[in-house]
Structure 1
Amino acid sequence: MKAVLTLYFLNFLHWDENLSTTVYHAFSGLCYFTPVIGALIADTWLGKFKTIIYLSIVYVIGHVIKSVGAIPTVGNQMVHVILSMFGLALIALGTGGIKPCVAAFGGDQFEEEHAQERSKFFSVFYLSINAGSLISTFVTPVLRGDVKCFGGDCYALAFGVPAALMVLALGVFIAGSGMYKKTPPRGNILLEVCQCIGFAVTNRLKNRSKQIPRREHWLDWASEKYSKQLINEIKMVTRVLFLFIPLPMFWALFDQQGSRWTLQATRMNADFGGVVFQPDQMQFLNPLLILIFIPIFDFVVYPLIRKCRFNFTPIKKMSAGMLLAALAFAAAAVVEVKVNETAMPPLEPKESLIQVLNLANEKVQVKIQGQDLFQQPVEAFQDPAEYSKLTLTETQQSLVFELQSSPGLQSIFSHPVKEKSVYSLLVHKSEGSLTTHLIADMATKPAKGLSAVRFINALDQDVNVTFDTEQIISVTKNYSVSHYTTVERGNYKVRCKTGTKEFSLDLGLLDFGASYTVLINETTSSQAWKTEDIHANNVHIAWQLPQYMLISAGEVMFSITGLAFSYSQAPVSMKSVLQAGWLLTVAFGNVIVLIVAQAAPLEQWAEFVLFAGLLFGVCIIFSIMGYFYVSVNPDDLLEKEEKGEMPSNGNAFSLVPQKTKL
């Protein structure tokens, strides 16, 4: 569903890019805050199996409401927003609530002596998630864009199909009930943990002034009320959570595939030899590459590293994953710089852009008051090379244009102008003399990778222009200019009808992100003369492949390793809680995106560089923390303490390197 969510905000709810990105990451963050609720429900009341079932029903209801909210005929704009937000809230509760339970429930099916098989399960588990993601990120944009309903993109179907498939998945899961090992709930573990921590803190503060022997760990101050086993298990959980502190930065980069990278794709050329990709379909590369990379890493890369006798521990794998994600954003920044080369240049106050469209059948020299912008005569019926920049004075509200044609005709015209605007000076002949019109142009690229086209009518009678879509554009006579019409990229022929005649014009290719001006000056079928005012997207979408490859390889090394690591370091009674803690790192990663996007508005390439630099710095910090982290077997912790084989303070960090260090 998230594959089309950003474009749903942009095109259906008509939000701008920043608001769409903000709500997208707010929803993504909420999906990873709610696992705490799911873990509480599973560990306290229902157990993992029933929690998955009940919250999956909530999941389905949320999708149904989201689908209804995407039907244009249901209410007004406010109703659509309310239904969409309510549906997303239920989806976040459903998907987030089952996240810590599904992975932990799968891990529960293995006995402790089957640790290697359990590790393989997490790879298969991740593989199956990405198999579903691969199908959905390719098919859901097709349901959205290629299937039309209610006169436009079918977002209702794109949101409704996942609801139906979730019902089917839930039925399959329930059908296997008799084969599962179901661990009963162990009571309100999280509440007990919080109470134990609270008692330790208050007891320490209460006895601060008393002459009491110092204790090796601050949690040992809870020993008067709570068991040694519980205190040691809490020590394990808190030190792993401490190790998790730097991890949100990885997810801050990873989740931008569905927002910033999708928006980047809308400004690129998506034509693969006649097959045109939807911008949101590029997200299918991530699950596809995951499916390819998991067996390559498990059966080729990791064994080769072991043969080289390099101790590639989980912490080192996760650090390498961070580096790869940082490189992915560096690559995205390079692509963004190239993409921006076809965009309109940014304008400062007192600046405007202008080009000359010479329809006078002869060369024309154009001079603008006080500024020599066009040093060479402008050829007739020639596509202007680039816009020229005008600089206006503080009080200037109009400009004087001096025109001189090759035979010696000279004319002077004055036209009103505004700052930070884009213009075309239309030059043509009227009754043997040169005359001009100053027309306003598009100031930015057409959104969503569409093409924009307008028509100039050089005939002495009105013209109706009809596209294949039966869209009719009326253009009045004598060099009047129509409004812009946006169309999907493609080759077009239009029908033109005057009062007495009907003829067709071949517009040729209207390309991704381009803006065109088309001249109607004949009443016979012909190739239309057109100018490309805003250049088409000339950076192919395939250039996003390196950044997707890097971040997907980083995900394999970071996410799968971290998922198995967080499970292995958790006491039996707190596996869902620690899984929820792992998922919370994703939530805080999305919060980081919200903060950076809102607090530090930068050009997109600069924002990509900022994120890459932040992750690189965080990777160094995490590597230092991981160097001093010592892996602990949850079941052996108490026994080792009693035998004196490890510090009774349960400290996860030691300044002395040990062989068991991760």
Structure 2
Amino acid sequence: MEDTAKKEKKGMSKLFSSESSPNKKVPKLCGTNYPLSILFIVVNEFCERFSYYGMKAVLTLYFTNYLHWDDNLSTTVYHAFSGLCYFTPIIGAPIADVWLGKFNTIFYLSILYVIGHVVKSVGAIPTIGSTELHVTLSMIGLVAIAFGTGGIKPCVSAFGGDQFEEHHKKERAKFFSIFYLSINAGSLISTLVTPILRGGVQCFGGDCFALAFGVPAALMLVALVVFVSGSGMYKKHPPEGNVLAQVFKCIGFALKNRWCHRSAAHPKREHWLDWANEKYPKKIITEVKMVTRVLFLYIPLPMFWALFDQQGSRWTLQATRMDTMLGSFAAQPDQIQVMNPLMILILIPVFDLGLYPLLRKCKINLTPIPKMAVGMIVAALAFVVACVVEIQINKTIPPVAGSKECYVQVLNYASEDITVTMHGETFTASSLTLQEYQDPEYRNLNFDSEQAHTSINLKSASFENNCDAHFNESSDYSILVHVENEALVCKQFTDNKVKPPKGTASIRFINMLSDTITVSIGEETINLQGMFSPGEIKDLKRGKPDVKADIKGTEYTIDVGLLDFGAGYTVLLMGIDSVDRKVSIRRIEDVDANSFHVAWQIPQYVLLSAGEVMFSVTGLEFSYSQAPSSMKSVLQAGWLLTIAFGNIIVLIVAQTATLEQWAEFILFAALLIAVSIIFSIMGYFYVSINPDDLKEDDDDKAGELEKKPLPDDFYELEEKKTKI
């Protein structure tokens, strides 16, 4: 028994050891030079990206529809979470480099990742407690997810590269291509699937956010299981030390030394980092110089990400106010985000195999910095298009009653048309009892004070009467006219003539029968107490709901038809068909359905994705080409931090700016164009170098490396390498 326990302990120790024979021979794929272990890493990355992007796709609508936060708070928390996801890599990288190694870092932080998803899913179950508990669980889950995904982000791709022999560089390059494909495939599929799980499945009487978050949680668990399953095949390099800490120490020593010798007695040095010569070798100092030169170029870059990440917040909220019918398929507003990974998969080969070679044939050889600057401008144009779309959407929104005005519609339940004179205006109200009735229109009334008492004259072929109404400013009303005791009388209701939130439809029932009626829509019930009593307004998903009416213990069906995106309806319950057990109705569309089609968002997604290809893919190539091999992780961390700071910019604007949405889009576009000009000027004075010229045994050349520019065809050769 004791020997068995020792063996099990030894086996577990070997499984999670960070020094598991990095030079050992690993099984190959079908006689190729590809390690079998990379299959586990690629599948792990696909599942992890599915879980991350799937959860993130529905996150904004979770905040607005489930937690009932306003758009600005939802945008702020969304971008705070996104920013945290890109801050945490600077924690994960040192953990792997100094303490646990890449394998153990991925393993332990993946467990935290799974726990975060599970907590997030539980927080989306309505029956577990109060709103405060849901918010608390959601925030705990999001923080755990941010530390999980950010912590493993700098480790997984590098761990995959570690599996290859040094002389199999071609195979390693193709692995990174497959790795990048798995990222986009996970993003593409999850962005399609999770909105369907949210909106296409009903649970707890509404959208099933618990399922939409639960499936990504399950995929992250699968990612963890798959990753651990390949443990025996992996090369596991031991921790190599914290390069990032070394860079900071070198910079800190140089600044401290310069400050201590600031008097004129000490001669000036060519570069401020040369003040570290007393402690660090010239090669290290030169490498840090190379890194700081690139990091200086990174300063303007967060503004691009401030625009890019809004496709999951502001652009998704924009889609909720549009018609998202694609033929016979009703797309969810959060599904439209799928355009980005789809366009990336299309545009990368278009640019690499078509546009860039064509430009070179025309003697236009764009180096990375001009490409990135053009990418910024293209992304800015995407926000100009988004602004135009926003303005067109605003034209479809019904006007809101302002100061000293209100909107009134007349619902004519008399058996004949009537002429209405109200507040000096005369118009005809068609009878709703006729089979071919017309929807009434809201009339704008202006008055001199905050309130108004108005006498309404009602005249038909058979009757004439006056009734009084009381209106408040900035309000909406319905006046229901019916015949009572051989006279026209009216009843006043308060309306809410606004677009239903987030692409839903609103409906209100009015009981025109003498009996008390209980209307049920799913798990919702509405009690209509007696004749002419209105029910409360309910917001429903687009579709044909199953509506039942209980009248004196007998159940009847109510066919309200299709409730469309963004429409508001009043349904009059007119009569009973005892044979078919149906209630006859008159349906009035108080608020028009969304009419501006979501296809108009496609150009802004195409432009933003094109900007991403030129900016992000090129920026990664540039960073990789300009960093010494020992410092590539430092520049990777710096690149990820630009994304984090970009999200901080958005949440600051969301909380402080008081602009309308279209004006905010223009502001972001203008800022990015200004930043692209600044970046171009900075890039003009940047001299590209080739870090491969820096030899371990050639310390004298290190000081001259910065002055040695790259050959003209360097970036043309770099573009032939696979994007990582």
Under a length normalisation based on structure 2, what TM-score does the superposition of the two structures give?
0.83
Which amino acid in 1 is paired with 2:102? K
Following superposition, the deviation at residue 624 of structure 1 comes to 2.0
CA contact (8 A) 2:401 2:476 kept: no
Pairing of 1:149-298 with structure 2 (within 5 A): 149-176=203-230, 184-298=238-352
Pairing of 1:76-95 with structure 2 (within 5 A): 76-95=130-149
Alignment correspondent of 2:585: 528
Following superposition, the deviation at residue 23 of structure 1 comes to 0.9
Q: Which residue of 410, 417, 429 corresponds with 1:378? A: 429
Alignment correspondent of 2:397: 343
CA contact (8 A) 2:89 2:154 kept: yes
Unpaired segments ≥5 residues, structure 2? 1-54, 716-724
1:613 counterpart SS class: helix
Following superposition, the deviation at residue 94 of structure 1 comes to 0.9
CA contact (8 A) 1:322 1:558 kept: yes
Which amino acid in 2 is paired with 1:253? L
1:528 counterpart SS class: strand
Question: Is 1:33 the counterpart of 2:87 in the alignment?
Answer: yes
Which amino acid in 1 is paired with 2:470? P
Which amino acid in 2 is paired with 1:491? K
C-alpha distance in 2 between matches for 1:159 and 1:286: 21
C-alpha distance in 2 between matches for 1:114 and 1:610: 48
CA contact (8 A) 2:510 2:534 kept: yes
Give CA-to-partner distance per residue, 1:549-603, whole Å, 9 cap, x none.
2212222222222223222322222222221110111111110110111110222
Alignment correspondent of 2:673: 616
Following superposition, the deviation at residue 218 of structure 1 comes to 1.0
Question: Is 1:479 the counterpart of 2:532 in the alignment?
Answer: yes
CA contact (8 A) 2:694 2:702 kept: no
Q: Aligned in 2, Cα 1:272/1:360: closer, same or farther, shift over 3 Å?
A: same
Following superposition, the deviation at residue 58 of structure 1 comes to 1.8
C-alpha distance in 2 between matches for 1:212 and 1:401: 93
CA contact (8 A) 1:368 1:399 kept: no
Which amino acid in 1 is paired with 2:430? E
Pairing of 1:365-444 with structure 2 (within 5 A): 365-369=419-423, 372=424, 374-381=425-432, 383=438, 386-394=441-449, 396-407=450-461, 410-444=464-498
Q: Which residue of 556, 561, 582 corresponds with 1:508? A: 561
C-alpha distance in 2 between matches for 1:54 and 1:259: 30
Following superposition, the deviation at residue 32 of structure 1 comes to 0.5
Following superposition, the deviation at residue 618 of structure 1 comes to 1.4
Alignment correspondent of 2:78: 24
Which amino acid in 2 is paired with 1:126? Y
CA contact (8 A) 1:627 1:661 kept: no
Alignment correspondent of 1:558: 615
2:293 counterpart SS class: helix
Give CA-to-partner distance per residue, 1:249-290, whole Å, 9 cap, x none.
111111111111111122222222332112211112221222
* Range 47-56 or range 88-97, more displaced: 47-56
1:630 counterpart SS class: coil
Which amino acid in 2 is paired with 1:585? T
C-alpha distance in 1 between matches for 2:107 and 2:553: 69
Following superposition, the deviation at residue 235 of structure 1 comes to 1.0
Following superposition, the deviation at residue 51 of structure 1 comes to 2.3
Question: Is 1:517 the counterpart of 2:570 in the alignment?
Answer: yes
Q: Aligned in 2, Cα 1:111/1:246: closer, same or farther, shift over 3 Å?
A: farther
2:488 counterpart SS class: strand
Q: Aligned in 2, Cα 1:173/1:41: closer, same or farther, shift over 3 Å?
A: same
Following superposition, the deviation at residue 399 of structure 1 comes to 2.1
1:474 counterpart SS class: strand
C-alpha distance in 1 between matches for 2:388 and 2:561: 31
Alignment correspondent of 1:575: 632
C-alpha distance in 2 between matches for 1:113 and 1:323: 40
CA contact (8 A) 2:283 2:702 kept: no
CA contact (8 A) 1:383 1:530 kept: no
C-alpha distance in 1 between matches for 2:529 and 2:361: 77
Give CA-to-partner distance per residue, 1:614-644, whole Å, 9 cap, x none.
2122122222222222222224247899677
Following superposition, the deviation at residue 533 of structure 1 comes to 0.8
Alignment correspondent of 1:591: 648
Which amino acid in 2 is paired with 1:217? H
Which amino acid in 1 is paired with 2:679? F
Pairing of 1:77-116 with structure 2 (within 5 A): 77-106=131-160
Alignment correspondent of 2:541: 488
Structure 1 segments of 4+ aligned residues over 6 angstroms from their partners: 109-119, 638-646
* Range 612-621 or range 104-113, more displaced: 104-113
1:256 counterpart SS class: helix
Give CA-to-partner distance per residue, 1:118-137, whole Å, 9 cap, x none.
66655543322110001111
C-alpha distance in 2 between matches for 1:557 and 1:116: 24
* Range 25-34 or range 54-63, more displaced: 54-63
* Range 334-343 or range 230-239, more displaced: 334-343
2:562 counterpart SS class: strand
2:349 counterpart SS class: helix
C-alpha distance in 1 between matches for 2:365 and 2:181: 25
Q: Aligned in 2, Cα 1:388/1:616: closer, same or farther, shift over 3 Å?
A: farther
Which amino acid in 1 is paired with 2:310? Q
Give CA-to-partner distance per residue, 1:635-662, whole Å, 9 cap, x none.
42478996779757x489x9xx995897
Pairing of 1:450-489 with structure 2 (within 5 A): 450-467=504-521, 469=522, 471-489=524-542
Which amino acid in 2 is paired with 1:599? T
1:490 counterpart SS class: coil
* Range 57-66 or range 563-572, more displaced: 563-572
CA contact (8 A) 2:286 2:703 kept: no
C-alpha distance in 1 between matches for 2:617 and 2:254: 34
1:521 counterpart SS class: strand
C-alpha distance in 2 between matches for 1:503 and 1:161: 38
CA contact (8 A) 2:412 2:480 kept: yes
Alignment correspondent of 2:10: none
Q: Aligned in 2, Cα 1:336/1:49: closer, same or farther, shift over 3 Å?
A: same
Q: Aligned in 2, Cα 1:491/1:93: closer, same or farther, shift over 3 Å?
A: closer
Question: Is 1:61 the counterpart of 2:115 in the alignment?
Answer: yes
Alignment correspondent of 2:29: none
Q: Aligned in 2, Cα 1:71/1:206: closer, same or farther, shift over 3 Å?
A: same
C-alpha distance in 2 between matches for 1:176 and 1:495: 55
C-alpha distance in 1 between matches for 2:486 and 2:208: 54
Following superposition, the deviation at residue 243 of structure 1 comes to 0.7
C-alpha distance in 1 between matches for 2:656 and 2:238: 46
Following superposition, the deviation at residue 498 of structure 1 comes to 4.2
Q: Aligned in 2, Cα 1:305/1:117: closer, same or farther, shift over 3 Å?
A: farther
C-alpha distance in 2 between matches for 1:273 and 1:534: 23
CA contact (8 A) 2:324 2:330 kept: yes
Pairing of 1:295-310 with structure 2 (within 5 A): 295-310=349-364
C-alpha distance in 1 between matches for 2:659 and 2:697: 53
C-alpha distance in 2 between matches for 1:600 and 1:191: 38
Following superposition, the deviation at residue 154 of structure 1 comes to 2.8
CA-based RMSD of the aligned residues comes to 3.0
Which amino acid in 1 is paired with 2:628? P
Alignment correspondent of 1:312: 366
Q: Aligned in 2, Cα 1:259/1:551: closer, same or farther, shift over 3 Å?
A: same
Alignment correspondent of 1:542: 599
Give CA-to-partner distance per residue, 1:348-368, whole Å, 9 cap, x none.
333322222233344444344
Q: Aligned in 2, Cα 1:483/1:651: closer, same or farther, shift over 3 Å?
A: farther
CA contact (8 A) 2:372 2:615 kept: yes
Q: Aligned in 2, Cα 1:385/1:212: closer, same or farther, shift over 3 Å?
A: farther
2:126 counterpart SS class: coil
